[in-house]
Amino acid sequence: MNSLRKLFDNQIYIIKLSWEFKKSFFILTLMQAVVNGVVPPISVVLYRSLVESVTQSDWNRSLSFIGIIAAFSLLASLVNAILKRNTEIDKELFKNTLVFNLLAKTADMDNHLQQLPEVTTLKERANNAIQRGSATRSFNSFFSIVSALITIISSSFILSSVSAYVLIFIAIIIFLKIITVSRDRYSQYGAFVEMASVNKEMGYYAQMLTDPAYANEMKMYTISSWVLAKYNSILKRINFVIKRLLDSIFRNEMIRGTLSALEEVVIYIFLVWQVIFESMSIANFTMFLSALKTLSSRTTSMLNALITIGESSVYIDSYRSFISLENTIAVKNYGISISELSSSTPLLRLADVSFSYPGHKKLVLNNVCLDIEQGRFYVIVGENGAGKTTLIRLLCRLYDPQEGMILYSGTDIKEIKYDEYRALFGVVFQDYQYYDLSVAENIAMSEYDGSEEIRSKIRGSLEKVGLLEKVDTLPKGLETRLGRTFEDDGVLLSGGEAQKLALAKALYKDSPILILDEPSSALDAFAEEDLIRTSIKAASGKTVLYISHRLSIARYADEVIFIADGQIVDKAPHSVLLQTNERYSQMYKAQAAHYMDMEDKKDESILSVF
């Protein structure tokens, strides 16, 4: 019963979506279903009249009915063609709208939700619901049922004078067919659930085999055959599930075929008996035979539509479940506006914050307490895996801590409107990548409208990071595309240029807090020094958090935040830490040998910026 209720709810959900998408789409599809539903019974009545005219040798009346039948058939075909043309276009647009909704939901979803295995599996199912056309097929099947019901009711009215025993027999056959349809539906659901996680794993291995990012290791370590073996193993599991499903469907189809044959035999015997022994006219014989055949065929069509709805319902249910997942961080229309907050010191405070990533018990940050003052330049250092990037993700509220709280101007950031809070931060993430878009779009993104005001702001950001001269030499200036996915003359930036572009994007946002997460990790020592100088100069007046496992930047900081094993072990100026923290001093000296020349060339003028 619950399964049938869910099937019904999922069908109503799709109908509502179609109505919200375009009311005319729903109405025209309904009109098409009505036309297709009334044409068969009307045709049955018209053919009866034609046969009656022929058996009475009435030539003129026979010609009249031939004309009526031809005109009716032409009109029905014309109306159906017009309706189909409009609905077919809308069906494709409806599918694209569902794809858009899925993409929008994914983009807006909290990070911690996206990382849960059950959510990734649900997303795989939801994507299948759209890509397999399950939603549109379910929509079509619903109106196929509407059309079939109109035909069945009309045919039953025509057959109302036929023996009740025959109609009861047909009803029993229909009931037995519905049972086989139900069994098919349960088999398909079981196969779908079983294959969802398998498909996700197979997709990952397929990506390993085809993604250029894996190509070098695949060749150097000759692991492609190993991955192919894993892929093949999954294929065998899928083949087993599919074979089991097809065997079940085959058995049920054989049962339905046998029932249909029995139904047809009984109908023929009954009507022949009526003609031979009960004096039924040939015209009525023709009408009743056509009506019974129409009733049988439309019943079969309805059952097929029910099978499709049952199969599609599983996918639609996954789509609904994914779309209905609720964020706990990016909650719209909730919270206090930044403008309502009173100024408070410190600007940011972490109070006994502990955090672990979804699915992991180990704490990445453990009981962290930290104050961030406005307008100061902080460098966060520590070994790889110490928790530096995690600390930044929590400050940006990409995640929420399991324990403790983060305060902005004395207010828990969970109580502040999330979009306004995130607007406080301009961030250059460690894994930054530029997009295959124009230089201007890479920096201003959705704000870019080609206006001189926006272009001037973009040029200002590029000038601050020392990239404007480079951009001015490009073939199309700000309109030059960065990448060659779409245009052969696209430009590829060097590592240092890409990092400066990322910094320009963060500066364009003009946020009061600037975060630089390992911005020089992919650069050599000279490029790193250049980026450090550029960053410090460009970020003047802002609160800066510069994350690095390299300690060369630390000497420029107002304060160094030293993280180890998920805890803040010290916080002080670089020169003080060298004297008071042995572990920090050892790390710095270990790295200093690689940067001795850079230390000798240190530009003291940089220090005057802060």
Place of tokens 């801590």: 401
125 neighbors 192 (Cβ within 8 angstroms): yes
* CB-count exposure of residue 361 (10 Å: 0-12, 13-18, 19+): exposed
Confidence of residue 28 (pLDDT cuts 50, 70, 90): very high
- Section 114-134 average pLDDT: 82
Helices (H) and strands (E) in the chain, counts: 20, 10
Express each pLDDT in 569-592 by its tens digit. Answer: 999 999 999 999 988 888 888 777
The DSSP 8-state label assigned to residue 491 in this structure reads B
Assess if CATH 3.40.50.300 describes domain 338-434+493-599.
yes
Rounded CA gap, 605 and 529, in Å? 14
Confidence of residue 378 (pLDDT cuts 50, 70, 90): very high
Nearest by Cα to 382 from 560, 576, 543: 560
Two tokens, residue 276? 């031979």
Strands 348-355 and 365-372: antiparallel
- pLDDT at res. 610: 42
7 neighbors 310 (Cβ within 8 angstroms): yes
Rounded CA gap, 567 and 460, in Å? 39
- pLDDT at res. 457: 93
Average pLDDT, the chain: 83
Rounded CA gap, 375 and 532, in Å? 18
The DSSP 8-state label assigned to residue 201 in this structure reads H
The gap from C-alpha 138 to its chain's centroid, in whole angstroms, comes to 20
Confidence of residue 188 (pLDDT cuts 50, 70, 90): low
- pLDDT at res. 500: 84
- Section 168-176 average pLDDT: 80
- Alpha-helical regions (H) of 221-281: 224-277
Domain ranges of the chain: 2-323, 338-434+493-599
Rounded CA gap, 447 and 502, in Å? 16
Two tokens, residue 223? 């692991």
Amino acid at 251: R
433 neighbors 501 (Cβ within 8 angstroms): no
563 neighbors 388 (Cβ within 8 angstroms): yes
Q: Is 397 helix (H, G, I), strand (E, B) or coil?
A: coil
Please work out, in degrees rounded to the nearest 5, the angle formed at the alpha carbon of residue 32 by the alpha carbons of 28 and 36: 170
H or E element that contains 552: none
- Section 43-52 average pLDDT: 86
Amino acid at 388: K
Rounded CA gap, 361 and 286, in Å? 75
Two tokens, residue 365? 């940050």
Rounded CA gap, 104 and 173, in Å? 46
Q: CA separation (Å) from 559 to 377, 381, 478, 566?
A: 7, 11, 37, 19
* Sequence-ordered list of residues with C-beta below 8 angstroms from that of 284, at least 6 positions apart, any chain: 48
Express each pLDDT in 385-395 by its tens digit. Answer: 888 889 999 99
HEC string of 163-183 equals: CHHHHHHHHHHHHHHHHHHHH
Q: Of the segments 153-167, 202-216, 266-280, which one has the largest average pLDDT value?
A: 266-280
Confidence of residue 143 (pLDDT cuts 50, 70, 90): very high
Out of 160-174, 176-190, 224-238, 467-481, which region has the weakest mean confidence (pLDDT)? 176-190
Out of 98-112, 301-315, 343-357, 502-516, which region has the weakest mean confidence (pLDDT)? 301-315
End-to-end alpha-carbon separation of the chain, Å? 70
Rounded CA gap, 534 and 524, in Å? 15
* 2-323 and 338-434+493-599 have identical folds: no
Q: Of the segments 218-222, 462-466, 600-604, which one has the largest average pLDDT value?
A: 462-466
- pLDDT at res. 595: 52
- Alpha-helical regions (H) of 56-163: 59-108, 111-114, 117-131, 134-158
CATH code, residues 2-323: 1.20.1560.10
Q: Is 512 helix (H, G, I), strand (E, B) or coil?
A: coil
Amino acid at 370: L
* Cis peptide leading into residue 358 (ω within 30°): no
Rounded CA gap, 478 and 434, in Å? 14
Rounded CA gap, 265 and 261, in Å? 6
Q: What global pTM score does this model have?
A: 0.69
Q: Is 358 helix (H, G, I), strand (E, B) or coil?
A: coil
Q: Is 332 helix (H, G, I), strand (E, B) or coil?
A: coil
Please work out, in degrees rounded to the nearest 5, the angle formed at the alpha carbon of residue 554 by the alpha carbons of 553 and 558: 120
Dump the DSSP string for 398-458. SS--SEEEEEETTEEGGGB-HHHHHTTEEEE-TT----SSBHHHHHHGGG--S-HHHHHHH
Out of 123-137, 214-228, 406-420, 529-543, which region has the weakest mean confidence (pLDDT)? 214-228
Rounded CA gap, 65 and 414, in Å? 76
* Sequence-ordered list of residues with C-beta below 8 angstroms from that of 309, at least 6 positions apart, any chain: 7, 11, 138, 141, 142, 145
Amino acid at 495: G
Q: Of the segments 310-319, 324-333, 407-416, which one has the largest average pLDDT value?
A: 407-416
241 neighbors 194 (Cβ within 8 angstroms): yes
Rounded CA gap, 102 and 95, in Å? 11
- pLDDT at res. 2: 63
Whether 115 has a pLDDT exceeding 50, the answer reads: yes
Q: CA separation (Å) from 142 to 18, 23, 577?
A: 12, 16, 72
Rounded CA gap, 338 and 511, in Å? 13
